[in-house]
Amino acid sequence: KSKLSYGERAKHHTHPVARRLFGIAESKKTNVVVSADLTTSKELLDIADKLGPYIAVLKTHIDILDDYQYSVVEALKDLAVKHNFLIFEDRKFVDIGNTVQKQYHGGALQISSWAHIVNCTMLPGEGIVQALTQTAEREDFPYKDERALLILATMTSKGSLATGEYTRLSVECARKYSQFVIGFVASRTLGEIETEAGPLENEDFVLFTTGVNMASKGDKLGQQYQTPKSAVETGADFIIAGRGIYAVPDPVETAKRYREEGWNAYLSRIGEA
Ligand code: UP6
């Protein structure tokens, strides 16, 4: 659980994408990530434009769009510049290295060309992180220093198997490939997990926590929620909320409430509230 301010972390982080992310959080005073799980381009762009001022990151599942065309991600990129947020494609890569390289860079969705951040699971073992890191470090990779990876280290769904050795390997690989991995998607802090190579000197992995909702405890399909306050108290640097924000009558007002609760919890964590 970091007690440093986003501003401090923006100054000292070794990864340029993490520095940018913390810089955005500090300047916009928000640690909210909206999970924009809308299924039409119009709805997705509409919510991105309306909520843009209040979020640090927009999280997408681009493959759930009914009417996907590359122009939608071009429009998202423009909105990311307009409102100063990063785009996180929640792709959860889960295959052998050779396959994920093609899914990430190139392919039907051209993910590397528009998503600042992507994530992967550890189910395949170290090779998946090694492969994605290798792609990002290729001489001809056009987005050097503008792309980063998160490891999905735990899951919020009931009965998840992302525990124990799975989570430990997540931490081990984050340390081993910290030139591309900036942190985790998880619901607990992981820095205390011991691995051969770590903790690293000045280790500062970014923790994104999903399953955040101010009005519900869960859904009928096994999702489990906590509030923004409890997520940040548990160690979340960024809180990811989907239906809690986009599926209510007034998403803008609601996003502002999540932002306020998330920001206040952050201020008390760093001792400024
Ligand atoms: N997500 C989780 N739990 C995880 C990993 N990812 O909920 O362990 C993602 C989902 C969805 C979002 O794929 O996009 O976070 C949560 O949405 P919700 O707030 O509407 O439940």
Per-residue pLDDT reduced to its tens digit, 73-108 = 999 999 999 999 999 999 999 999 999 999 999 999
Whether residue 32 has its Cβ less than 6 Å from ligand 1 = no
Q: pTM score > 0.95 for this model?
A: yes
Report CA-CA distances (Å) from 76 to 37, 46, 144, 256. Answer: 14, 10, 20, 21
Mean pLDDT of 249-271: 98
Kindly list the catalytic residues: 90, 92, 95
Residue 93 has what pLDDT? 98
Q: Is the CB of 187 under 6 A from ligand 1?
A: no
Q: Going by CA atoms, what residue is nearest to atom 16 of ligand 1?
A: 242
> Do the beta carbons of residue 182 and residue 149 sit within 8 Å?
yes
Give whole-number Cα distances, 270 to 95, 168, 193, 231, in Å. 38, 27, 22, 15
Decide: helix, strand or coil at residue 43: helix
CB 101 within 8 A of CB 131: yes
pLDDT at 190 over 80: yes
How many angstroms is it from 86 CA to the middle of ligand 1?
A: 18
Once rounded to an integer, what is the mean pLDDT over residues 218-236?
Answer: 98
Assign 132 to helix, strand or coil: helix
Per-residue model confidence (pLDDT) at position 121:
98
Cα 229 to averaged position of ligand 1 atoms, centre (Å): 17
- pLDDT band at residue 266, thresholds of 50, 70 and 90? very high
User: Is residue 273 very low, low, confident or very high in pLDDT (cuts 50, 70, 90)?
Assistant: confident
Bond preceding residue 199 cis, omega within 30 of 0: yes
* Nearest atom, ligand 1, residue 212 CA: 19
Q: Which residue, judged by its Cα, is nearest atom 1 of ligand 1?
A: 210
C-beta of 36 in contact with ligand 1 (< 6 A): no
Q: Locate 68 and state its tokens.
A: 């996907």
> Is the beta carbon of 240 within 6 A of some atom in ligand 1?
yes
